Structure 1
Amino acid sequence: MKTAVITGANRGIGLSLSQQLAAKGWDIIAICRSESEEIEAVAGMVISGIDVTNPDDIEQIKKIIGDQQVDLLVNNAGLLRNEELGNIDYDSLREQFEVNALSPLRVTEALIPNMVEGSKIANITSRMGSMTDNDSGGRYGYRASKAALNAIGKSLAEDLKGKGIAVAQLHPGWVQTRMVDFNGLISPEDSTAGLIDRIEELNLSNTGGFWHTNGEVLPW
């Protein structure tokens, strides 16, 4: 049985990924701030009370997982805030960078020793991190932090290629989750089905790419 570690797994996209991967026979290690009955029902292990921006919590994840093999890491935990030019909260921007960009790197670095040739990393990013695609402005912290995550993911893809580990940056679409007050255009279930397809297609020949859940290659 293959093992997937998923951050932000207690609700939204993380929960849906956990449910659909579990239905495909994966063992799920769910990492989250707080547990939910839904994630407990499908995960083999729930590591709750975790703040992915806290190095001590990352060490706790490492200790709990131990030497268990990780076949898939999904860096899904994220934070979306809005800023208006002229009234920007820079502490909020820093927090978004910590959650959206630095934390996936922290988690990945911690779990690389658990990965083997053929393991995969999926960073749940956003097309809002695309500079080419930005025609509406705003969302300074979210856009910049997701662009940073894309850059980090591309570097990881290059650095881990020699270990046989492939990395993808995946945009889930505008999903009906709490993050956007459920105003999205696509359900978590439909988004997740596409994300899993992209993960299954991921290999060393296409590592480092930036894809929409529907398979479209997105511009940087």
Structure 2
Amino acid sequence: MPTVLVTGANRGIGREIVTQYMADGWDVIAACRDPDGAGLDCETLALDVADPDDVEAAKRTLGDRPVDLLWNNAGIYPDKGQGLDTLSYARWLEAMHVNCLAPVRLAAALSGNVAASDRRIMAFTSTMMASIGRDPSGAYAYRSSKAALNMAVTCLKHDVRPLGIACCLIHPGWVRTDMGGEAAAIDVATSVTGMKRVLDGFTMEHTGRFLSYDGSEFPW
């Protein structure tokens, strides 16, 4: 039975990832800061992705257990609705830590677990808002931290390729969640169904690509 480990699994997209992989019969490890309060009906892992000690503890808990799909989904959008005049530079640094550094730290820590599996995939939830080619404006912290994630994973793919691990950057769509808002275009089920379809066909040939939930490719 394949295993998926999902971060940010307590709500929104992460929770729907848990639900759909459970329905497909996968062994699911749902990681979040407070699993006891999340009401998740699967194996859970207490993990604050921004805490290096938590990452080390997660690695000790997993030991040598294979993880077919490591899905770095946890993220924050600290400057939603803020302009340059109200931008918090402390929160910007927090966004860089959570959205970029933390996923790479976890990927490095668990690379051996992913390499020991049959599927050997690392997925990273990115966003169309990270695309410089779309000539964006506003949301300095969120956009730049996710753009930094895109670059970091582009570098990471070279280091994990010898282990047989493929890396996927994926845009979930504009989704109706706490982060996306009620006006967003699609619901979480549509988003995750699409992303799962992309990952089901993902191979080393595609590693490092920046894809949308519908399979199309995004400009960098």
CA distance in 2, matches of 1:169, 1:119: 15
* Superposed CA offset, 1:95-117 (max 9, x none): 00011001100111110111226
2:50 aligned to which of 32, 53, 75: 53
Matches for 1:1-12 after TM superposition, within 5 Å:
1-12=1-12
| Residues 1:96 and 2:95 aligned together | yes
Secondary structure class of the residue paired with 2:174: coil
Judging changes above 3 Å, is the alpha-carbon distance between structure 1 residues 54 and 9 closer, same or farther for their aligned structure 2 residues? same
Matches for 1:3-152 after TM superposition, within 5 Å:
3-35=3-35, 40-41=40-41, 43=42, 45-48=43-46, 50-82=47-79, 83-116=82-115, 118-135=119-136, 137-152=137-152
Matches for 1:160-175 after TM superposition, within 5 Å:
160-175=160-175
CA distance in 2, matches of 1:158, 1:206: 13
Judging changes above 3 Å, is the alpha-carbon distance between structure 1 residues 81 and 208 closer, same or farther for their aligned structure 2 residues? same
Residue type of the alignment partner of 1:110: A
Shift of 1:181: 3.5
CA distance in 2, matches of 1:178, 1:207: 30
CA distance in 1, matches of 2:36, 2:197: 26
Secondary structure class of the residue paired with 1:98: helix
Query: Is the contact between residue 211 and residue 218 of structure 1 (CA under 8 Å) also seen in structure 2?
Result: yes
**Identical aligned pairs, as a percentage?**
38
Secondary structure class of the residue paired with 2:211: strand
Secondary structure class of the residue paired with 2:112: helix
Judging changes above 3 Å, is the alpha-carbon distance between structure 1 residues 139 and 105 closer, same or farther for their aligned structure 2 residues? same
Secondary structure class of the residue paired with 1:218: coil
| Residues 1:204 and 2:204 aligned together | yes
Total equivalences in the alignment: 216
Q: TM-score, normalised by structure 1?
A: 0.93
Shift of 1:143: 0.4
Query: Is the contact between residue 68 and residue 121 of structure 2 (CA under 8 Å) also seen in structure 1?
Result: yes
Counterpart of 1:153? 153
Shift of 1:36: 6.4
